[in-house]
Structure formats: structure tokens, C-alpha cells
Amino acid sequence: MSGRDMDNLDSPLKQQPQPSKQQPSLPHNRGLSIAQKWIAFRTILLKEVRRILRIWPQTLLPPVITMSLYFVIFGKMIGSRVGEMGGVPYMQFIVPGLIMMSVITNSYSNVVSSFFSAKFTSSIEELLVSPVSKHSILLGYVSGGVFRGLMIAVIVSIVAQFFTQLGIEHFFIMFFTVLGTSVLFSLGGFINAVFARSFDDISIIPSFVLTPLTYLGGVFYSLENLSPFWQNISLLNPIVYMVNSFRYGILGYSDVNVWWSMVAIFSFCALFYIIAYRLLMNGSKLRL
């Protein structure tokens, strides 16, 4: 058979259409739906709530005992000698500040300890590689801190009724002040947990920053009792505005402008949320 005949035999094979090599198109990932994001947020929040209630001797009981000692020592023993402050009995004057003190410390400590534990055990990596929204993660942990802070506020308020009588002069100012403060310090605890490298790091801010600012935040005294110089120094303390706004909501008395205080509180909440979200998106500080 000649070479021309061999070419004729091969031509049908060469002329056959080749199968398409296109890859199958993958469905476009549009992210989780709102319902799925809600389920993720609710799951994280319920985990935090169950943890708080499961170890209540560590999360709920100590603040009640500590505040009760403050009521007895400062309210009954010292308060009887002080008399009135801000136009009200000294015991009534310090109760709003003590409630805010417990809200600040418990909101902060709940988030910083819970998130750093997840970071320490590497369980946070499971959330990071999942399709769960970073907003759901952040809001879940922060809401857990807010739950503990508000729960402590209610318990301490009930305990305070055994020592003095309290009313509510401006409910919405009181509520939004304690809510904004709890959110702000929950976000602060989250940011601290992101940067922390050991369990010692999560105790530095509460010990050396929050405690001094709280005691110098007008909890036990009115700014009117200070000299003009120390009044101006005290106004640099952000906790002064939170304590006085909450005191205004309960007693109707404040050393600062309440409306500007609330604007500042929620402005810092927005700023801290942006910082915490960017740190969560970056992810570089989330692995030990």
C-alpha cells in the first residue's frame, strides 16, 4: 500500500472532533445567607451564655460579694460620717458607680478570657477556616460579654436594695449608658485577647489601667469636691463620663454633660468595633 493510501486511512482519524477540555463551572460563592449568619451568631452567643452560667461561682458570685463589701464598708461605716454628697445620702451616691464598676470589669474579663482561651487551644482556627462571617464571630463574643455585664448589673442592683432605696429618674439614659459601656469594654477585652501572647498579658490591662481609672472615675466622690486643677485632670478619665451618665439616669445628678458623654461612649464603641474587626480579618495575631 502506497504512502498516499496510508494518509487517506489516517485522515478520518485526524478529522474527528476532539472532546472539549473546558473545566466544569463551579457555583459562585455568594457567602452565607442572613439566616445562616444568625445561626452562627446565636451558636457562639449560646456557648458563651452556657459557659457563664456553668461556672457561676466564678463569673457571677465574686462580683456580688465584692460589691456587698463596698456597700457595708463605704456605705454604712464611712457613709454615715460623710453624710450627703450631690444632694443625696452617700450610700445612694456610690451605688451607681459601684454598679458601673462591676459592669466594666466583668464585661472586659469575660471576653478577654473566653477569646484568649479559644486562641490558646487553637479552637479559634476552626472558626477562621469556616465560612462563618467575621461579624458573626465578633458579635457573638461581644454579646456574651454584654450578657454577663448586664446580668451582673441587675444582680448588684438587687443586692443594693438591701442597703438603700434606689429609683430611676431617666430610664433610657440609664439603659443606654450601661449598654454602651458594656459593649465598649467587651470590645476592649476582645482587642486585648487578640494581642495577648500568654495568660499574663490578659491581666495587665485590668490591673494597671482599668482599676486605677475606675477608682479615680468619680465612683466614691463628686468632682465638685476637688480643686479646679484636679477637676480638669479627672475630666481626662473616660470612666468619669460613664459613671456620671449612669448616676444621672438613676439619681438625676451628674458632674458632666450627659448627652456629650453618651455620644462619646457610642463613638468609641464604633471605633473599637472597626479595630476589632480589622484585627479579626487580618488574622496574624490569632495564632500563638
pLDDT in tens, 146-184: 999 999 999 999 999 998 888 899 999 999 999 999 999
Degrees, nearest 5: CA angle 30-31-32: 130
Question: What does pLDDT average to over the chain?
Answer: 88
| Cα–Cα separations (whole angstroms), residue 233 to 211, 240, 259 | 17, 11, 20
Q: Which of 102, 74, 101 is nearest to 90 (CA)?
A: 74
> What are the tens digits of pLDDT across the range 125-134?
888 888 899 9
Is residue 141 scored above 90 in pLDDT?
yes
Tracing cell 457567602 back to the chain, one arrives at: 31
Mean pLDDT of 198-216: 92
Does residue 9 surpass a pLDDT of 70? Answer: no
27 pLDDT more than 60: no
pTM for this structure? 0.86
Domain boundaries, the chain: 34-282
